[in-house]
Chain A
Amino acid sequence: DGGITQSPKYLFRKEGQNVTLSCEQNLNHDAMYWYRQDPGQGLRLIYYSQIVNDFQKGDIAEGYSVSREKKESFPLTVTSAQKNPTAFYLCASSIGQPHSNQPQHFGDGTRLSIL
């Protein structure tokens, strides 16, 4: 079955450490997205990528970094510069341009907590 796989489901970080969240899709989608979800705040866009080797900052990119070396993969690194990283992180993908009327498909998320 095609879909989006996020791993791990739960992740713990010590203060001062960088951690990387994995997102893999086998839907052959060009576009991929990372969101952060906090209670009562909906989904806020961190980074997105419309095509391999290209990505753009979203609304809350500070303290995060990404790479898009392969079409299937869009890992997110939460750096030590992110002062409040505890949150639920969601990865999504979509067919991409010019089909902007197509929906995004979501993974099951990674919950990151600070020890």
Chain B
Amino acid sequence: AQSVTQPDIHITVSEGASLELRCNYSYGATPYLFWYVQSPGQGLQLLLKYFSGDTLVQGIKGFEAEFKRSQSSFNLRKPSVHWSDAAEYFCAVGGGSTLGRLYFGRGTQLTVWP
């Protein structure tokens, strides 16, 4: 069955520090992977996606993610965090067999200290 695990419920970093948010997925075939960000009371905004090709993908707002098939992971990274990055981050997996459905992790809440 398809599933996504985000092991960290809450992460706190200082502004200017590097960031890595973890995501592990379970999917039997080639996955389509997504990272979304949500500000309080808002919808989800797509940060980046992976479905084939280069395993390091670049997204908006300076984020990147690396697909590692051997580890079933798709971790999100940013070299230097800004206070405006404070939000909740969701990883999602889909694929050819899911008929457009996405399976979301429970999210990681990011707090940024000034």
Contacts and interface: CB of A to CB of B under 8 A. Distances in A.
Interface of A: 4, 6, 31, 33, 40-43, 45, 48, 50, 58, 90, 92, 94, 96-97, 100-101, 103-109, 111
Interface of B: 9, 32, 34, 36, 41-46, 49, 51-52, 90, 94-96, 98-102, 104-107
B106 A42 contact: yes
A90 B43 contact: yes
A103 B46 contact: yes
Contacts of B99: 50, 97, 100
Given A40-B106, A103-B34, A108 B43 contact: yes
Given A40-B9, A41-B106, A43-B90, A96 B100 contact: yes
Nearest to A4: B43
B94 A100 contact: yes
Given A100-B94, A100-B95, A107-B43, A50 B49 contact: no
Given A42-B106, A101-B32, A48 B100 contact: yes
A58 to B, nearest CB: 8
A101 B42 contact: no
A111 B41 contact: yes
Nearest to A103: B46
Contacts of B32: 100-101
